[in-house]
Structures are given as C-alpha cells and as structure tokens.
Chain A
C-alpha cells in the first residue's frame, strides 16, 4: 500500500535561510509525487510534481524537489525562505492510473524575521 512520511512536524527558520522539508514514500512502482502548500484556513496549492524524467523538479515560488529512488525520498528545498512561505506543506503520492492521492501528515513551516 502507498504511504507518505513527513518526519518533521514543525520547522522554524529565519528569513533568508535555506530550507529542506523531508518526504519519504512507500510505493511498489514509480510513483507520482507532489508537494502542496496550505495557508491557514485555505485549500491546497500545488507547488510542484514529479511524474518521470529529470529527478530535479522546479516548482513555483522558487521551490524545487529532488526524487531519489534509492532513498524513496522527495525532499522539498528552497535556497532562501521568505516570510510569506510560512504555511503547512504536504507531500503526496499517487499511482499513475488514478487521481487518488495519499498525503503525508504535513510539516508546518514557521519563518522568523
């Protein structure tokens, strides 16, 4: 069965610092991988996705993520965090033949000035 683990429940960084949010997945075949961001009381916005090809994926708002099959990971990175990046971040995995996604438990990012 598919599953997603986000080991970090809460991360705090200073504005301008680099960021890496961890995501590990469990899936038998090549997964479809996603990162979503959720602001308080809002729905989710897609940051980036990996389907195939280049394992380093660029997304919106300066985010990128790298798919590492050997580590079953899809970590999200940003070189310089802005205060507006404070939000909840969800990693998700999906199968290729369905739109059903399994979400991780989320990582809450707090940014200090």
Chain B
C-alpha cells in the first residue's frame, strides 16, 4: 500500500522556539494532505487541509499564524508550529489522499511534540 512518512517522530523544544514537521508521500503524489492533532486518549482533530500549490484551509478555531502549513510539492507538506508553548504539546498526524475525493487516506506515523 501507499506509504506516508513523517519526520521527526518526536521532538522536544523550548518554549518560544519554532518546530517544523514534515509529511511525505513516498510512493505516490498527493495533491491534498491533512494535518490532525491528537490529545492523549482522544480522537483526531482535523487542523487543516493542505493543497499543493495553494494556501492551506484551516478548520475553525485553528490559528493559521501559529500553525504554518506549506505544501510546496506533490510529495511534501510541512507543518511549522511557531513560537511553541507547552499547550502546543501534542501528537500531530498527517494523512495524504490516495485518490481525490474518495476518503481513502494514508496516514503518517505521527510526530510527538513536547514543549518545555
């Protein structure tokens, strides 16, 4: 099956710094990728839809200036958490659309962010 890879798997940073998380589709081209946030023992909350070559679409309540998303190529989307604070600590997961508008998504392994 299709493979989606995230990097880093986990990262620890100091409060006030910025952290970039990469999401790559390894064996297919993804015009659309999605970023989710998952709190401990909770479900996935969709943060934004990342479209190649255009601005991301953010869900209500998600700060676009805090969570910068760039989808510069058909195989790479990045999520940058700017000026991170401890409340930004979470598990961030990306997914990529295998075939557009079918709901068939492949998920990355997730990236655990801890902000000290």
Contacts and interface: CB of A to CB of B under 8 A. Distances in A.
Interface of A: 32, 34, 36, 41-46, 49, 51, 90, 94, 96-106, 108
Query: Interface centre among B32, B34, B95, B105, by most A CB within 10 Å?
Result: B105
Given A90-B43, A100-B49, 12 more contacts: A44-B93, A45-B107, A46-B105, A46-B106, A49-B103, A49-B104, A97-B101, A99-B97, A99-B100, A99-B104, A102-B46, A106-B43
A41 B101 contact: no
Chain B, interface residues (CB within 8 Å), range = 20 to 34
A96 B112 contact: no
Given A41-B110, A43-B6, A99-B32, A94 B43 contact: no
B44 interface: yes
B5 to A, nearest CB: 10
Shortest 6 CB-CB distances between A and B: which pairs?
A43-B107, A94-B103, A44-B107, A32-B103, A99-B97, A105-B43
Nearest to B101: A97
Interface of B: 4, 6, 32, 34, 41-44, 46, 49, 93, 95, 97, 100-110, 112
Contacts of B109: 42-43
Contacts of A94: 103
